[in-house]
């Protein structure tokens, strides 16, 4: 595998894991870093990027949180730094992406819904509650209809909060978008087992360039 291909995969994977990490944070604390959240949300609307970095605001540093999660996953010495819930969400997202790929009607509905939400950017900023609520609704109308669902665990008070629940569902939508991108870049689940060291090396290099 070429370095550039692995590099692109690592960026998409960082986007996926960043969204998964934010889901965990919101579920347990009701809070999430605003810049990291906006990077995930805005990635949905980058439909004609010139580079993979453009999807995440034009800079790898915007998914630094995600790179750190991937590093924890692929580096045995540091694996305890990552929550098992983040990994569970990420694997669930990859499973949803696989199901979505086989459902063209749902893919079309999602694309149309994202385009509709994108038009709201003329009136609202990317983390406005109205836009987030629409993305949450799109998740419920599409991915949430599969028999397999991602079970988010955390503080019941936060999970019952409508605004927090909307953010979580919107982030799951973002994570699936990154999973689609990762697969388009040649990413496969078996790589977590057989190319763990290569993924870790590309991730460490990305973090070195960022830091």
For the segment 29-41, what is each residue's pLDDT rounded down to a tens digit? 999 999 999 999 9
pTM for this predicted structure? 0.94
Q: Is the pLDDT of residue 166 over 60?
A: yes
Cα separation, 9 vs 163, in Å, equals: 32
Task: Give φ, ψ of 87 to 5 degrees.
Answer: -65, -40
Q: Which class is domain 3-210? A: mainly alpha
Q: Is the pLDDT of residue 184 over 80?
A: yes
Q: Is the pLDDT of residue 211 over 90?
A: no
Of residues 132 and 6, more confidence is placed in 132
Kindly state the percentage of the chain with pLDDT values over 90: 82
- pLDDT of the residue at 208: 94
71-128 residue pLDDT tens: 988 886 655 556 899 999 999 999 999 999 999 999 999 999 999 999 999 899 999 9
Taking CB atoms within 8 Å and a gap of at least 24, the contacts of 84-90 are: 85/24, 85/27, 85/153, 86/17, 86/20, 86/21, 86/23, 86/24, 87/20, 89/20, 89/23, 89/24, 89/150, 89/152, 89/172, 89/175, 90/16, 90/17, 90/20, 90/175
* Per-domain boundaries in the chain: 3-210
């Amino acid at each position: 595998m070429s370095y550039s291909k692995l590099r692109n995969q690592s960026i998409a994977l960082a986007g996926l894991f960043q969204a998964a990490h934010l889901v965990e944070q919101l579920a347990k604390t009701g809070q999430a870093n605003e810049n990291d959240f906006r990077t995930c949300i805005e990635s949905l609307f980058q439909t004609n990027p010139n580079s993979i970095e453009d999807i995440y605001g034009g800079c790898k540093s915007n998914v630094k949180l995600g790179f750190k999660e991937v590093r924890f996953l692929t580096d045995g010495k540091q694996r305890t730094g990552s929550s098992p819930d983040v990994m569970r969400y990420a694997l669930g997202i990859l499973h949803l992406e696989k199901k979505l790929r086989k459902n063209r009607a749902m893919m079309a509905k999602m694309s149309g819904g994202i385009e509709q939400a994108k038009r709201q950017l003329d009136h609202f900023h990317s983390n406005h509650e109205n836009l987030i609520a629409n993305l949450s609704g799109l998740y419920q109308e599409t991915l949430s209809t599969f028999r397999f669902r991602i079970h988010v665990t955390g503080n019941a008070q936060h999970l019952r909060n409508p605004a927090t629940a909307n953010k979580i569902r919107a982030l799951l939508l973002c994570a699936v978008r990154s999973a689609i991108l990762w697969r388009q870049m040649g990413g496969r689940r078996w790589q977590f087992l057989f190319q763990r060291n290569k993924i870790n090396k590309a991730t460490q290099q990305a973090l070195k360039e960022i830091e």
